[in-house]
């Protein structure tokens, strides 16, 4: 007789495994517990011992395929019909072969099916498997609901408010399932609409005229339901352009690069004092200097000692690309949405050149005239949320970059200064980085150095 061996759950709660290699071929005679295959689960590579002694008649899956738990993978021709007494395979074949463990056979997605909580979206009773029971529902709309009282009208055609599943009890649900009855089509006569055993029986006997659930859902029959024009209550805009690009980039970044965000709040009064002195100095006359200019410069200085943050994870080539230059991206709000143009070779610029480049970049971006070349090739980015008066956030990486810094607002706050509480200018830095290539230590040390410069710009002398 032929026996099938179905893939078991090889490690607490696995749903599938990959066949790595077969150790036997069709026609081979195998003994009990002889290793027949090597399979890889999400947890381990394991060897499968044969559950039978016999001759291999078929290998159902090729090496390299991922097989769901419970699927037959190999068949054997077994001598005779040796029953269970000596542990023969007979008894096991009668049962679900993978009853042991958590790995129930799943359908479809391989995820446990959730019981639907709505019956508005459930299949119509016509989909019930037993044709004899199929309710004779006329396809035309049921007696049109009275022009709905406003309170009952669904607010919009898309609305599929979750409706509770039909009220019943497990034994009745079991009965309905056995009879092929969709409880959504049965009217309950029990307490508070509870569907009873008799309701199900009567339904099968044709004693009840079901109401199609679609009608129950209360979709407006096209009647002008209310005074309010729906268009004013919501606006639908096609997703395109910068919004679409931004969305794609953010989704791809957020779900490919494992983000870690760290925060550092610090006293930047010395930097703000330096900024004031620079603005007053003759050499910077006519240039636009902002806290962002100094933060950008500080980032460029700190990056020298922490080049791993100026890198890219190249998944396709399985390489880490270390950039030996810095194209500094600056997130800019433009009329069309968010863009992140970058300043090429920002690391080679003097503070003067950097401030010019920053001014040009933001002006161009706001005018919506950024050239495509300026939008690509960035190696690290800064987003200035401080201009909106925001302190901190968890920025999402510009795709392909390893780090992004959110610069918070500079606020006067009571702060420890020389062992006393003083009113100081305080800022929060939020640094997100790609944990695939930047470890917590590297990210933290970079942020620490950056903070050291901003807390005492003189520290920059020690770093360049």
Report, as residue numbers or ranges, the catalytic residues.
435
Measuring CA to CA, which residue among 254, 374, 401, 404 is closest to residue 314? 401
Dihedral of alpha carbons 274, 276, 277, 282, sign: positive
**Minimum distance, C-beta of residue 86 to other proteins, in the bound complex (Å):** 6
Please give the DSSP secondary-structure letter assigned to residue 283. Answer: G
144-151: list long-range contacts, CB under 8 Å, 24+ apart: 144/221, 145/215, 145/218, 145/221, 147/223, 147/225, 148/218, 148/220, 148/223, 148/225, 150/225, 150/226
**Minimum distance, C-beta of residue 68 to other proteins, in the bound complex (Å):** 13
- Segment holding 451, helix H or strand E: helix 440-455
CA angle 327, 333, 338 (to 5 degrees): 70
| 51-70: contacts with other proteins (CB under 8 A) | 51
From the list 31, 91, 160, 448, which residue makes contact with other proteins (rule: CB under 8 A)? 91
End-to-end CA distance of the chain: 80
- Segment holding 46, helix H or strand E: strand 45-49
| 3-32: contacts with other proteins (CB under 8 A) | 5-12
* Residue among 173 and 344 whose Cβ is closer to other proteins: 173
Residue located via tokens 């005018």: 367
* Residue among 11 and 399 whose Cβ is closer to other proteins: 11
**Minimum distance, C-beta of residue 46 to other proteins, in the bound complex (Å):** 6
Measuring CA to CA, which residue among 297, 315, 329, 314 is closest to residue 403? 329
43 binds other proteins (CB under 8 A): yes
* Residue among 39 and 460 whose Cβ is closer to other proteins: 39
From the list 25, 80, 139, 170, which residue makes contact with other proteins (rule: CB under 8 A)? 170
Specify the stretch interacting with other proteins by CB under 8 A; choose among 83-91, 111-119, 332-340, 372-380: 83-91
- Mark residues 174-203: x for contact with other proteins by CB under 8 A, - for none: x---x-------------------------
Specify the stretch interacting with other proteins by CB under 8 A; choose among 136-144, 165-173, 223-231, 318-326: 165-173
Specify the stretch interacting with other proteins by CB under 8 A; choose among 40-48, 138-146, 218-226, 412-420: 40-48
Specify the stretch interacting with other proteins by CB under 8 A; choose among 84-92, 262-270, 271-279, 285-293: 84-92
Residue located via tokens 């794609």: 248
Specify the stretch interacting with other proteins by CB under 8 A; choose among 92-100, 326-334, 393-401, 416-424: 92-100
From the list 57, 92, 202, 356, which residue makes contact with other proteins (rule: CB under 8 A)? 92
409 binds other proteins (CB under 8 A): no
**Minimum distance, C-beta of residue 132 to other proteins, in the bound complex (Å):** 21
* Residue among 51 and 291 whose Cβ is closer to other proteins: 51
| 257-276: contacts with other proteins (CB under 8 A) | none
45 binds other proteins (CB under 8 A): yes
From the list 100, 126, 144, 228, which residue makes contact with other proteins (rule: CB under 8 A)? 100
Biggest CA pair distance of the chain? 102
66 touches 17 (CB < 8 A): yes
429 touches 264 (CB < 8 A): yes
From the list 19, 30, 48, 278, which residue makes contact with other proteins (rule: CB under 8 A)? 48
Specify the stretch interacting with other proteins by CB under 8 A; choose among 18-26, 80-88, 125-133, 276-284: 80-88
From the list 84, 129, 368, 440, which residue makes contact with other proteins (rule: CB under 8 A)? 84
53 touches 4 (CB < 8 A): no
226 binds other proteins (CB under 8 A): no
Which residues, other chains included, contact 38 with Cβ-Cβ below 8 Å and sequence gap of 6+? 19, 20, 21, 23, 45, 46, 47, 48
171 binds other proteins (CB under 8 A): yes
**Minimum distance, C-beta of residue 13 to other proteins, in the bound complex (Å):** 8
Cβ atoms within 10 Å of 34's Cβ, excluding its own: 15
Half-sphere exposure of 108 toward its Cβ, with a 13 Å CA cutoff? 5
The SS3 of residue 103 is coil
Phi, psi (deg, nearest 5) at residue 269: -50, -45
From the list 85, 132, 285, 316, which residue makes contact with other proteins (rule: CB under 8 A)? 85
Would you tell me which residues interact with other proteins (CB under 8 A)? 5-12, 33, 43-49, 51, 84-87, 89, 91-92, 97-102, 169-171, 174, 178
């Amino acid at each position: 007789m032929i026996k099938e061996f179905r893939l078991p759950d090889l490690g607490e709660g696995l749903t599938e495994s990959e066949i790595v290699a077969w150790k036997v071929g069709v026609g081979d005679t195998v003994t009990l517990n002889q290793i027949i295959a090597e399979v890889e689960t999400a947890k381990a590579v394991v060897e499968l011992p044969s559950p039978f002694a016999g001759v291999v008649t078929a290998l159902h899956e090729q090496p390299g395929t991922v097989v769901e738990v419970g699927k037959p993978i190999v068949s054997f021709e077994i001598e005779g019909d040796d029953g269970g007494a000596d542990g023969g395979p007979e008894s096991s074949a009668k049962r679900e072969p993978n009853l042991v463990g958590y790995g129930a056979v799943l359908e479809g997605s391989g995820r446990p099916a959730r019981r639907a909580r709505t019956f508005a979206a459930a299949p119509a009773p016509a989909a019930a498997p037993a044709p004899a029971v199929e309710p004779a529902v006329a396809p035309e709309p049921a007696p049109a609901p009275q022009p709905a009282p406003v309170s009952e009208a669904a607010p919009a055609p898309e609305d599929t408010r979750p409706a509770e599943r039909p009220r019943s009890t497990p034994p009745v649900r079991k009965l309905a399932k056995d009879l092929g009855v969709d409880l959504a089509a049965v009217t309950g006569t029990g307490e508070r609409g509870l569907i009873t055993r008799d309701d199900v029986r009567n339904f099968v006997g044709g004693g009840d005229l079901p109401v199609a659930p679609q009608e129950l859902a209360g979709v407006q029959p096209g009647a002008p339901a209310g005074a309010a024009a729906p268009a004013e209550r919501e606006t639908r805009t096609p997703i395109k352009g910068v919004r679409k690009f931004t969305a794609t980039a953010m989704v791809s970044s957020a779900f490919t690069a494992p983000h870690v965000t760290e925060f550092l709040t610090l006293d930047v009064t010395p930097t703000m004092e330096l900024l004031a002195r620079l603005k007053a100095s003759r050499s910077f006359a006519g240039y636009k200097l902002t806290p962002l200019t100094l933060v950008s410069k500080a980032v460029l200085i700190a990056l020298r000692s922490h080049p791993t943050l100026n890198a890219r994870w190249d998944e396709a080539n399985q390489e880490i690309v270390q950039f030996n230059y810095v194209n500094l991206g600056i997130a800019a709000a433009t009329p069309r949405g968010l863009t992140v143009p970058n300043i090429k070779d920002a690391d080679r610029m003097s503070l003067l050149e950097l401030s010019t480049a920053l001014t040009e970049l933001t002006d161009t971006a706001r005018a919506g005239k950024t050239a495509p070349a300026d939008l690509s090739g960035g190696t690290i980015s800064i987003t200035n949320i401080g201009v909106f008066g925001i302190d901190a956030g968890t920025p999402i990486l510009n795709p392909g970059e390893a780090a992004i810094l959110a610069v918070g607002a500079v606020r006067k706050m009571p702060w420890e200064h020389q062992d006393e509480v003083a009113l100081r200018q305080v800022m929060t830095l939020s640094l997100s980085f790609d944990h695939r290539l930047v470890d917590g230590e590297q990210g933290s040390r970079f942020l620490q150095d950056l903070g050291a410069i901003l807390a005492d710009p003189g520290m920059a002398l020690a770093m360049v």
